[in-house]
Structure 1
Amino acid sequence: MIRLLAALALLVSATVHGAELHNVQLDKSTIAFVSKQMNVPVEGTFRKFSAQITMDPVRPEAGRARIDIELASIDAGSEEANDEVKGKNWFSVREFPKASFVSGSVKALGGGRYEASGKMTIKGKTLDARAPFTLKQLNGALILDGAFPLKRLDYGIGAGVWSDTSVVADEVQVKFHFVLK
């Protein structure tokens, strides 16, 4: 039923020969997630989000990002699932309409790989988060792709009967794809 989550969100960005880039092409970017229900992978997306990403390849440590996700824009595969995850036991979107990731630093890992570290806020709870990603250039754009695990119960997502991790796994894989021009 609940193919939930995510969050968020996510990260930081990309490079073009020492130039600072920050124009995120939202219509070409995605935030998705994969949860497991009774050990079966279930995919979903968030259709509305904003992203401000800045990255200078010469100084990746100066990279910054802020991603805000409108939780009511979730597509968990069906109207029934969407309605359920918007409710109080899951995202409680009336009280907490957005989730956010704000990076504090970016670290180059070598080979076009990076890691953004920052704070993830969901349902009013803020925790440290790390999001590894790759960066490549394609047709004049920078492509940032990454994924990270999120523990939904750490944020109070899936309360009551939904806190049973044999039904819905605690770990949700958050995936992101950002295009910067």
Structure 2
Amino acid sequence: MKFLPLGLAALIAAPAAASDWQLDPEASSVEFVTEAFGRDVTGSFSNFEADIRLDPADLANARIEGRVDVESGDTGNPQYNSEMTGGDGLDAENHPFAVFTSTNVRPASDCAEGEGDCYRADGMLTLRDAEQPAALLFRLLISGNRAVADGELEIARDDFGVGAGNWGSAARSVRVQLHIEASR
């Protein structure tokens, strides 16, 4: 089962009369980019899920909730993985999920280049039991019963108590990049 991380997963929803969007986990991805020790560190989460209700004609009723299984994070480097998911990092043993829940979805104009209309989902992101406001910018393209969303969420790890031990300046800012495909 794939858990959609940090809020992007919940980017798409259907009109009230239609069914909610169903995540296609095989076509979707949750990736991240940060910097540690002077070089870029990239990775992904393999387990995520989302509850998505989004109709561009009825944004007042839109709701996006994404959950990421933080233990599924992989940088391709076992030492980084251990630090990321361990007690000083995301603390997967005690806080297994990162959760984004939207409180408001609205049209926006500051998305990255791409296909589809630009939206901003404001909401709350929970990591390690710390909850902070977060904004997910995404582009959404709906064609019939298929939706594709690409977006980003910027996280300041210090806001969530991640890396409070000995991380220093490593990974202070993490950009979560979402590619979500769903059908109804």
- Tell me the equivalent position of 2:24: 25
Q: Identity of paired residues, percent?
A: 28
Is residue 104 of structure 1 aligned with residue 109 of structure 2?
Answer: no
- Tell me the equivalent position of 2:113: none
The question of whether the paired residues in 2 share the 8 Å contact of 1:137 and 1:143 is answered with yes
The question of whether the paired residues in 2 share the 8 Å contact of 1:19 and 1:56 is answered with no
Is residue 171 of structure 1 aligned with residue 169 of structure 2?
Answer: no
Residues paired across the two proteins, number: 171
| Separation (CA, whole Å) in 2 of partners of 1:128 and 1:66 | 14
Is residue 113 of structure 1 aligned with residue 118 of structure 2?
Answer: yes
Deviation sequence 1:90-125 (CA, Å, 0-9, x none): 011111111100111100126710000111000000
| Separation (CA, whole Å) in 1 of partners of 2:58 and 2:86 | 42
Q: What is the RMSD computed on CA atoms of the aligned residues?
A: 2.1
Question: Displacement, 1:80?
Answer: 2.4
Q: One-letter code of the match for 2:155?
A: L
| Separation (CA, whole Å) in 1 of partners of 2:44 and 2:141 | 23
Q: One-letter code of the match for 2:181?
A: V
Question: Displacement, 1:25?
Answer: 0.9
| Separation (CA, whole Å) in 1 of partners of 2:140 and 2:18 | 14
Is residue 153 of structure 1 aligned with residue 158 of structure 2?
Answer: yes
Per the normalisation by structure 1, the TM-score is: 0.86
| Separation (CA, whole Å) in 1 of partners of 2:82 and 2:165 | 17
- Tell me the equivalent position of 1:126: 131
The question of whether the paired residues in 2 share the 8 Å contact of 1:31 and 1:175 is answered with yes
The question of whether the paired residues in 2 share the 8 Å contact of 1:20 and 1:55 is answered with no
- Tell me the equivalent position of 2:6: 8
Q: Where do residues 25-104 of structure 1 align in structure 2 (5 Å cutoff)?
A: 25-104=24-103
Secondary structure at the counterpart of residue 22 of structure 2: coil
Q: One-letter code of the match for 2:101?
A: V
Runs of 4+ in 1 over 3 A off after TM superposition: 18-21, 137-140
The question of whether the paired residues in 2 share the 8 Å contact of 1:14 and 1:143 is answered with no
Q: One-letter code of the match for 2:172?
A: D
Q: Residue 14 and residue 39 in structure 1: after superposition, are their counterparts in 2 closer, same or farther (change >3 A)? A: farther
The question of whether the paired residues in 1 share the 8 Å contact of 2:6 and 2:125 is answered with yes
Per the normalisation by structure 2, the TM-score is: 0.84
Secondary structure at the counterpart of residue 157 of structure 1: coil
